[in-house]
Amino acid sequence: MKKKPNILFITSDQQHYNTLGCTNPEIKTPNLDKLAQQGIRFTRAYCTNPTCTPSRASLITGKYPGQHGAWSLGTKLPETEPTIGQYLSCADYKTVLIGKAHFQPLKHTPEYPSIESNPLMQNLDFWKKFHGPFYGFQRVELARNHTDEFHVGQHYAIWMEKKGLRDWRKYFRAPAGTVHHQQRWHWALPEEFHYDTWIAERTIKFLRQYHRKNQRFFLWASFLDPHPPYLVPSPWDTMYDPEKLTVPHGKPDEHKKNPPHFQLTQLKNPDFSPWRESGMGLHGFHSHLHLLKTLKKDIAIYYGMISMMDKYIGLIIDELDKLGLSEDTIVIFTTDHGHLIGQHNLAAKGAFHYEDLLRVPFIVRWPGHVPENKISDALISFVDFAPTILSLCGLKIPRTMTGIDQSPVFYGKEESLRNWVVVENRHEPTTIFLKTYIEKQYKITVYFRKDYGELFDLENDVGEYHNLWDEPEYKELRYQLITKLLFAEMEKEPLWMPRVWGA
């Protein structure tokens, strides 16, 4: 019987696709570069939503956000939703998640309870006892904060205390309304207590344990960087000279033909109230001018966060290799979505479906099975992750999963299996609801009940500076792409109930 492989899944958080040393000489990621040389690096991999919860939920369910329920930040993935962790657990895999999960909203309500919420996140007595099950993972060790955010706690805080850092709270922000020194760029937290160190240490611990017991595993090392705030310990905060880095930027008046929310971001005091029908905040719906003032330094720190994370990813991969598990383990690296750090004069994330936000780094390594040092432009969607993993592990793919099995592409037997990907984005029920259809050359973004949209030629306008939506000569193409989007929406509806009778 063919031995089923282990899965080591490594993710970052909000990492631009062009922040690997093998694609960008201004940044150093030697360990990820080595991983890419040992496997396939995909250049056209896409998230299903450019925010954390929806895309992460798509990875473990094989469904789009509109299907699995966690359609936006502030929503939760229903605990009843089947996940890859459950399917693998039933197949005698040990399933572990270490780091960021973010499948539940921060706010706890009677109708939608969440253990990823305050004050529970800082109730360490609770977390000392709780390790799962959690969304199909038999064991979890969680953290929710990005850098020094107030909602630090959970298993990460317990680890810091065990390591001797009893006063860890002084390195993190205090509750709103209290006086606290604001850290910027340099994080006073010593590297030995950083969550990168914690994730690597705990991941290595489980690698050794499962190797010793000869157990198959699905192990997810879920890093929290380089998600802002831009903050990193020494010496990583001074690793890059801001004056020597290329600063992405937009072009004058490039948003003139774009939807109104793009244009408003370029004003000092924009009015986004028409988009806030529920009164809740929307990522990116504010002025982006003040966020761009310190761009050079922000980029230097962003790169430093990635390089530091790369170090600890390297420790994990090195341990896997030392244990002799490489040939039995599929290693996959990606991030949950991209990032804007000056491109198009925008910062962070929001309803701006540029490649910077939608495309993600994606690397697959499996010695002896996956081609080495290959670059593929095959279209990959996050909904493909779960069904592909199940296929690689010799397991049946549930009919409820929307994604496709990409294993022939991973094995190098097929150059590409997808003709399109679809990316969803919905923060408000009606005012900001958009979907993007992407194929090899063109992409189109359609807004619910709006006449405006975006159409870009990705081959002749790589930077996506020229929105062709209203151009008369592209009217027919726009119609064709909207039709293709409609067909794609019809195609991605899962036929979860098999037909068993002919009447």
What region does 157 belong to: left with phi over 0, alpha with psi -120 to 50, or beta? alpha
State the residue for tokens 């050794």: 208
| Environment class of 130 (CB within 10 Å of its CB; exposed 0-12, middle 13-18, buried 19+) | middle
Tokens linked to 240 = 């890059």
Q: What tens digit of pLDDT does each residue of 349-408 get?
A: 999 999 999 999 999 999 999 999 999 999 999 999 999 999 999 999 999 999 999 999
CA distance 66 to 92: 30
> Domain 6-491 adopts which CATH fold?
Alkaline Phosphatase, subunit A (3.40.720)
CA distance 75 to 81: 14
What does the pLDDT read at residue 106?
Answer: 78
What does the pLDDT read at residue 501?
Answer: 85
Q: What is the pLDDT along the chain (503 residues), one digit of tens a residue?
A: 468 999 999 999 999 999 999 999 999 999 999 999 999 999 999 999 999 999 999 999 999 999 999 999 889 999 999 999 999 999 999 999 999 999 998 788 888 889 998 889 999 999 999 999 999 999 999 999 999 998 899 999 999 999 999 999 999 987 654 545 578 899 999 999 999 999 999 999 999 999 999 999 999 999 999 999 999 999 999 999 999 999 999 998 999 999 999 999 999 999 999 898 877 778 999 999 877 778 999 999 999 999 999 999 999 999 999 999 999 999 999 999 999 999 999 999 999 999 999 999 999 999 999 999 999 999 999 999 999 999 999 999 999 999 999 999 999 999 999 999 999 999 888 889 999 999 999 999 999 999 999 999 999 999 999 999 999 999 999 999 999 999 999 999 888 888 888 76
Q: Is the peptide bond before 226 cis (omega within 30 degrees of 0)?
A: yes
Tokens linked to 485 = 């989007």
Q: What tens digit of pLDDT does each residue of 52-107 get?
A: 999 999 999 999 999 999 999 889 999 999 999 999 999 999 999 999 999 998 78
Task: Indicate the pTM of the whole model.
Answer: 0.96
Tokens linked to 132 = 């799962």
Contacts of 121 (CB under 8 A, 6+ apart): 115, 144, 151, 152, 153, 154
Q: Output the DSSP codes for 41-90.
A: EEEEEE-SSSSHHHHHHHHHHSS-HHHHS--STT----TTS--HHHHHHH
Residues paired with 410 in a beta bridge = none
Spans of all domains in the chain = 6-491
